[in-house]
Amino acid sequence: QKTSICYLSFPDSYSGGLGDTQFTFRLRQAGAARTCPFRDDGRYNREVPPALQREAAHYFGYVYFRQVKDSSMRRGYFQKSLVLVSRLPYVKLFQCLLQLIAPEYFDKLEPCLEAVCNEIDQWPAPAPGQTLNLPVMGVVIQVRIPSRVDKPGSSPVKQANQENLLPAPLVLPSVHELDLFRCFQPVLIHIQMLWELMLLGEPLVVMAPSPAVSSEMVLALTSCLAPLRYCCDFRPYFTIHDSEFKEYTTRTQAPPNILVGVTNPFFIKTLQHWPHILRVGELRMSGDLPKQVKVKKLAKLKTLDTKPGIYTSYKTFLHKDKTLIKRLLKGIQRKRPSEVQSALLRRHLLELTQSFIIPLEHYMASLMPLQRAITPWKNPPQIRPFCQEDFMRSLEHAGPQLTCVLKGDWLGLYRRFFKSPNFEGWFRQRHREMSHKLEALHLEAICEADIVAWMKDKSEVEIVDLVLKLREKLVRARCQHLPVKEETLQRVSLYIDTVIGSLPEDLQAVLHHP
């Protein structure tokens, strides 16, 4: 794993560019799961938007790479990388942190890192919905950790202003959001196609001139689906030395559902069999709409001097949204700031994803049993199974056409989505949340019941069985952090004591000390 981190921390093809560059990689964890460096009962992942959840089986690597001429070095260059490894996808925060630390580290080496680590050790754990003040090297970085209950598309800065802020900190508007407009410059007219490819979890390679462009484009693409989580594997920067290189380049099986960013021209040959390849040049902000890449046939992807383009035979299900392009063009003509253009683009993608996902959310909610069907002394009823055909029929009167002006084959898009890892991930998450809600409602029903009246005609065996079941429910409610009030849990605990108190002393002793 350390070797992999070393390879991923440097450009893997000739880079003539001098100076400093930053990029990101993502690495599969080797071996058994490691314990988290700070205590967390799962609350963070429950309260944060899905895209910001802490990774369980992957690490992110945030790299600051410096290459400058130095005649005292054997190769004539000073080349060094400082890498921050984390399970958190806080790309903007960690890049900002490295901009402060890395230049100092290259001058002063280890003692500087030791001082920085001592400061970072004092930082509070990330708490969704809170603004954190993070002191490092004489600067206070101020950033708000988004919460799942935030209104989608709202400005994080406005939400932070409600708190008492320290004087003159370095305020980051977002912990993770990239400059989408800058990243998507060369592909703005194909944003619809790229959104569909992401939604369907299609295998896609981003071929870029540098790790910085590659990782920015991959991370921008994964953020396209917010508030839906991109559930496929993704590698913002991938090299030929990676342990999964053989797995991804084999032609004996279909390419995996993965989004991968590469820079080495060797990949043009080894990944030719992939169905979708996006080749981009350097990202440069200019006063006009940058040259837009063309959609080309995969057969044309043959040579090292392959021109930028989207090499695919994919046909989109939805029609292109020309109004978005017109609005962005107007913004370019009026010299609108990039962050305003990005906000426009992000809102468009958010509304598109919401139009697609809301009918699924409504149908899923209809599978929940009615509250009156939940009775205290029976197991809670089951969530009804998800039937794709029933859902498709529901689209006639409650489909995306209610919230989205885009025309096209929405039904075909849903059918393909059902086969993707993104549907599986979304469905599993929703089903788990609904099961937890059912458990919580059942506990509340038990609290409202007359337990003394129920016990009157019951045998000792039935009463002991009830005690064991209630105890199990209580443990599960606390372990799984079910959406139940603490008052309800205390009442169930009191019920258990009442029931035990009605039993003979020998049984009481056993139940009090199982």
**pLDDT tens per residue, range 223-272:** 999 999 999 999 999 998 888 888 888 888 888 999 999 998 888 888 88
Quote the Cα angle for 135-140-143, to 5°: 105
> Which residues have a Cβ under 8 Å from the Cβ of 220 and sit 6 or more positions away?
178, 180, 183, 184
Looking at residue 164, what is its pLDDT? 54
Looking at residue 416, what is its pLDDT? 97
Lowest mean pLDDT segment, chosen from 135-149, 165-179, 356-370, 407-421: 165-179
Tokens of 241: 């030395």
Which of 76, 133, 101 is CA-nearest to residue 22? Answer: 101
Band the pLDDT of 89: cuts 50, 70, 90: very high
pLDDT of residue 26 exceeding 60: yes
pLDDT of residue 221 exceeding 80: yes
Looking at residue 428, what is its pLDDT? 95
Band the pLDDT of 41: cuts 50, 70, 90: low
Cα dist from 417 to 39, 351, 376, 408, 445, whole Å: 36, 18, 38, 15, 37
The answer to whether residues 88 and 143 touch, using CB atoms and an 8 Å cutoff, is no
Q: CB count, 10 Å around CB of 233? A: 18
The answer to whether residues 244 and 10 touch, using CB atoms and an 8 Å cutoff, is no
Mean pLDDT, the chain, rounded, equals: 86
Q: Is 390 helix (H, G, I), strand (E, B) or coil?
A: helix
CA 252/CA 412 separation, integer angstroms = 29
Q: Is 170 helix (H, G, I), strand (E, B) or coil?
A: strand
pLDDT of residue 18 exceeding 70: yes
Q: What's the rounded mean pLDDT across residues 169-194?
A: 92
Looking at residue 513, what is its pLDDT? 62
Looking at residue 40, what is its pLDDT? 56
pLDDT digits over 466-506, tens only? 778 888 888 888 887 888 888 888 888 887 787 777 778 77
CA 229/CA 222 separation, integer angstroms = 8
Q: Locate all alpha helices (DSSP H) within 294-337, ordered by sequence.
A: 322-333
Looking at residue 454, what is its pLDDT? 75
Which residues does residue 67 pair with via DSSP β-bridges, in sequence order? Answer: 19, 79
The answer to whether residues 356 and 195 touch, using CB atoms and an 8 Å cutoff, is no
Type and span of the H or E element at 294: strand 294-296
The answer to whether residues 209 and 195 touch, using CB atoms and an 8 Å cutoff, is no
Which of 240, 299, 245 is CA-nearest to residue 266? Answer: 240
Residue with tokens 């200019």: 286
Looking at residue 365, what is its pLDDT? 94
Looking at residue 160, what is its pLDDT? 45
CA 217/CA 207 separation, integer angstroms = 10
**Sequence spans of domains, the chain:** 1-123, 450-513
Residue type, 485: K
- Answering whether pTM is above 0.75, one says yes
From the number of C-beta atoms within 10 Å of its C-beta (0-12, 13-18, 19+), residue 29 rates as: middle
pLDDT of residue 138 exceeding 60: yes
Looking at residue 157, what is its pLDDT? 46
Tokens of 219: 């991370």
Compute the residue count for the chain: 514
Q: What's the rounded mean pLDDT across residues 82-97?
A: 96
CA 194/CA 222 separation, integer angstroms = 10
pLDDT of residue 37 exceeding 60: no
CA 439/CA 374 separation, integer angstroms = 10
CA 399/CA 356 separation, integer angstroms = 8
CA 48/CA 41 separation, integer angstroms = 13
CA 41/CA 480 separation, integer angstroms = 9
Q: What's the rounded mean pLDDT across residues 386-406?
A: 87
pLDDT of residue 81 exceeding 50: yes
Name the packing angle between helices 211-223 and 191-199 (round to 10°).
70
Long-range contacts of 305-308 (CB under 8 A, 24+ apart): 306/207, 306/268, 306/279, 307/279, 308/186, 308/279, 308/280, 308/281
pLDDT of residue 158 exceeding 80: no
Looking at residue 154, what is its pLDDT? 64
The answer to whether residues 13 and 265 touch, using CB atoms and an 8 Å cutoff, is yes
CA 192/CA 87 separation, integer angstroms = 30
CA 208 to chain centre: 23
> Which residues have a Cβ under 8 Å from the Cβ of 468 and sit 6 or more positions away?
none
pLDDT of residue 162 exceeding 50: no
- Which of the pair, 427 or 159, is modelled with greater confidence? 427
Residue with tokens 């699924």: 360
Looking at residue 17, what is its pLDDT? 67
Which residues does residue 81 pair with via DSSP β-bridges, in sequence order? Answer: 65
Which of 426, 90, 58 is CA-nearest to residue 231? Answer: 426
pLDDT of residue 161 exceeding 50: no
CA 349/CA 361 separation, integer angstroms = 18
- Which of the pair, 144 or 463, is modelled with greater confidence? 144
Residue with tokens 């995306």: 400
Q: Is 318 helix (H, G, I), strand (E, B) or coil?
A: strand
Tokens of 158: 């406005």
Lowest mean pLDDT segment, chosen from 55-64, 117-126, 357-366, 503-512: 503-512
The answer to whether residues 65 and 11 touch, using CB atoms and an 8 Å cutoff, is yes
Looking at residue 285, what is its pLDDT? 63
From the number of C-beta atoms within 10 Å of its C-beta (0-12, 13-18, 19+), residue 381 rates as: middle
Looking at residue 167, what is its pLDDT? 55
